Structure 1
């Protein structure tokens, strides 16, 4: 055991040093804060001993240099408030002994704190290993083992800034496998996965040691090339193209010639303002390679530089059309939103903005990926827009619905599913649109689903849609008071709404001050909700 004693000319510390001198405990001493802590030996220390009247005690407790797992033992006569001392601690374990010392009890404390320190250090190492594993897992593509798009987004800004500061070039390649969807369709996903893995291997074998390869999306790969100018990037891209085209992809059952189209962008030549613009430049060049016939390499050139070339203009038009088709899904949603806005006015737009904002907050609170949150937001726009287009007369009605009108609104999810079924690219949103009228207790429509039978997106949609609706004036009622809104959410927990999502919604209301309600009232609603739903408690 090795103990660090803090304090010079302190009788209590002198007594402890003398007490420990006849044991197998090694001691070292420093006059912190007059002298710096001996950082180099802290990993060897079992615990730190100091006194309650030490002038550097508060600095010691809040010091980030001391490892989290290293305990601190405070000696004193009880003149300092232990609760007050705890307020200043960083994260270390702290213990306290009153003077006069009893040797037996003091040594018991030392052994206990040493054991606690060892457990803490082991937990710290395990946590570091776990975090390293999670970070690796989060930054790698599960199929190919290459870095993923998330990691590219994480490092690209720094790489661009480094290139600007040093004046060195930075090139970015985007490689797309030609006709990959048809390949998947004709030969199966098993062969498609083999192609992706083989492509990854050929990428890593062909690129330089200092280059970094990423799987960017389905059949798209990125190579980031620090220090490479356009010509070097083009040479590498050609090697990649030839490496793919010259050797058959053979998994033992299927043999196929496969080609790639590659786009190149350069930080020095193209001067992107942002990482997203840099990627877009390389992507545009890749689309140009496809438009010109595939199985080729193209460098990014602004369209203005091509205005005197008929062939280039034709290729640019092909690129533009390709990108428009890729954006058809978003355009369809935006067009529906615009049609509904013309019919319903600003009320429609405000509702969509509010619900989308609440979905974003709740999705972040739940740790959902951005793509899933975007799917939920798309479903909101589709639902609200189509509802206004089909039933604006009913939505604007100030009286209660008749039986027939209620049936018409209850059948609306089926109409939504039927309309979106026409387009394959609304498949992810369809379950949300079909089941957002379901209630957690099974009393909703159209199928009477209950609890977890209801898709998560539909459960989220139901609660944020209600929150936005209660916060606005409607033809048949005025907006609810903020406290009444929270009461309604709490009351319907387990009925219309998922209790867990109600709890998380209350938390985002408080954290983002959405309803301007005092914290005590929110806490009372939260406590009442947990008391009625014990499973929500810690």
Structure 2
């Protein structure tokens, strides 16, 4: 298999002297460059934007606009702002050099110049550009890696939903917003009924498929602004911004009915899966902390499970009274 031929670097020369252009062109061709040239500043800008070269050699004195103005305009354009640019000048006053660097030149070379000096300055510019490109690429790779790590840190690998940690963070933000601006929200805690027998009878792979299908069902039934998370095990949590607690019951009932009518064909006997749903949210004067929102929704879920499963229940913080006893918690775990 033939190796892919490496593309030759390209240079654009802008100089008002045809003789100078010919001399510089020969030097660059000997260095292996593809050479294009122009005698005016306006055309240099046009060529550089249309087909950006790897390097620009720019005379300070041009017939239409100065090389300094060309440099400034090239640096202002996204297509040409990072192209290495060496200015050619017969002037060697400090003021001229400073002006060029201020406009964005990478280097200066004074006429007449030696081919070896030109080659050294060109190579230095190209090395610096390569280092900048490598750094930019590494930064982009780092950003992608960081994004992937952040996504892994807040998503559940089985369902692709957000995880418990991320749900709690967003709930904290939503609760703070509600306290500050008086907005409403609802919280669902959703449990898959009889999930343990599915795992025990048909295996964990079938259990994971059930969880994934429930996750897809929730995504279909809920709005884009609603936050859905796998809270743990066979339990899901949903946060519904701008949705009052009582009104959200209709949404929960729709989810429950959709789950009841969904057939999981990969399970024997065309097994259907039911959901129990507990609801809490605002307005509820008893809720003073995000953890109380979850505890109240969990209490409503416990009641739905205790009263026969495949049900929706709604609760306020005041209704909770005392927290369930250890014995009741054990019974709740068995119901799950």
TM-score (norm: length of structure 1): 0.40
Residue 196 of structure 1 and its aligned partner are, at CA, apart by 0.8
- Counterpart CA distance in 2 for 1:43 and 1:177 is 58
Map Cα deviations across residues 82-132 of structure 1 (whole Å, 9 max, x no partner): xxxxxxxxxxxxxxxxxxxx6654433221111111111111112212222
- Counterpart CA distance in 1 for 2:119 and 2:287 is 70
Residue 270 of structure 1 and its aligned partner are, at CA, apart by 4.9
- Partner in structure 2 of residue 321 of structure 1: 327
The 8 Å contact of residues 228 and 237 in structure 2, kept in 1 or not, is answered as yes
Residue 224 of structure 1 and its aligned partner are, at CA, apart by 1.0
SS at match of 2:278: strand
SS at match of 1:231: coil
- Partner in structure 1 of residue 294 of structure 2: 279
State yes or no: 1:28 paired with 2:72: yes
Map Cα deviations across residues 326-352 of structure 1 (whole Å, 9 max, x no partner): 79xxxxxxxxxxxxxxxxxxxxxxxxx
Residue 151 of structure 1 and its aligned partner are, at CA, apart by 1.8
- Partner in structure 2 of residue 483 of structure 1: none
Map Cα deviations across residues 236-255 of structure 1 (whole Å, 9 max, x no partner): 11111111123333215452
- Counterpart CA distance in 2 for 1:213 and 1:247 is 19
SS at match of 1:269: coil
The 8 Å contact of residues 186 and 279 in structure 2, kept in 1 or not, is answered as yes
Where do 1:334-413 residues align within 5 Å? none
- Partner in structure 2 of residue 135 of structure 1: 150
- Counterpart CA distance in 1 for 2:285 and 2:171 is 16
The 8 Å contact of residues 46 and 117 in structure 1, kept in 2 or not, is answered as no
Cα distance change, pair 125–302 in 1 and its aligned pair in 2 (3 A):
closer
Map Cα deviations across residues 21-61 of structure 1 (whole Å, 9 max, x no partner): 329996339xxxxxxxx999699435899xxxxxxxxxxxx
- Counterpart CA distance in 2 for 1:155 and 1:280 is 16
The 8 Å contact of residues 173 and 233 in structure 1, kept in 2 or not, is answered as no
- Counterpart CA distance in 1 for 2:320 and 2:126 is 78
- Counterpart CA distance in 2 for 1:46 and 1:323 is 68
The 8 Å contact of residues 277 and 304 in structure 2, kept in 1 or not, is answered as yes
The 8 Å contact of residues 47 and 117 in structure 1, kept in 2 or not, is answered as no
The 8 Å contact of residues 299 and 320 in structure 2, kept in 1 or not, is answered as no
Q: How many residues align structurally?
A: 246
- Partner in structure 1 of residue 112 of structure 2: none
Map Cα deviations across residues 362-382 of structure 1 (whole Å, 9 max, x no partner): xxxxxxxxxxxxxxxxxxxxx
Residue 283 of structure 1 and its aligned partner are, at CA, apart by 1.4
Higher normalized contact order (CA 8 Å, seq sep 6+, divided by chain length): 2
Residue 257 of structure 1 and its aligned partner are, at CA, apart by 3.0
Where do 1:353-502 residues align within 5 Å? none
SS at match of 1:185: helix
The 8 Å contact of residues 189 and 277 in structure 2, kept in 1 or not, is answered as yes
- Partner in structure 2 of residue 204 of structure 1: 219
Partner of residue 122 from structure 2, selected from 97, 107, 114: 107
SS at match of 1:250: coil
Cα distance change, pair 215–105 in 1 and its aligned pair in 2 (3 A):
same
- Partner in structure 2 of residue 163 of structure 1: 178
Gaps of 5+ in 1: 2-18, 30-37, 50-71, 76-101, 308-312, 328-538
Residue 234 of structure 1 and its aligned partner are, at CA, apart by 0.8
Map Cα deviations across residues 448-493 of structure 1 (whole Å, 9 max, x no partner): xxxxxxxxxxxxxxxxxxxxxxxxxxxxxxxxxxxxxxxxxxxxxx
Cα distance change, pair 306–136 in 1 and its aligned pair in 2 (3 A):
closer
Residue 325 of structure 1 and its aligned partner are, at CA, apart by 6.5
- Partner in structure 2 of residue 296 of structure 1: 311
Gaps of 5+ in 2: 1-10, 12-55, 61-66, 87-104, 109-116
- Partner in structure 2 of residue 310 of structure 1: none
Cα distance change, pair 306–177 in 1 and its aligned pair in 2 (3 A):
closer
- Partner in structure 2 of residue 257 of structure 1: 272
Where do 1:33-72 residues align within 5 Å? 44-45=81-82
Cα distance change, pair 40–167 in 1 and its aligned pair in 2 (3 A):
farther
- Counterpart CA distance in 1 for 2:307 and 2:259 is 18
Map Cα deviations across residues 414-452 of structure 1 (whole Å, 9 max, x no partner): xxxxxxxxxxxxxxxxxxxxxxxxxxxxxxxxxxxxxxx
- Counterpart CA distance in 1 for 2:76 and 2:189 is 47
State yes or no: 1:218 paired with 2:233: yes
Which entry has the higher C-alpha Rg, 1 or 2?
2
- Partner in structure 2 of residue 175 of structure 1: 190
Higher helix share: 1
SS at match of 2:214: helix
SS at match of 2:72: strand
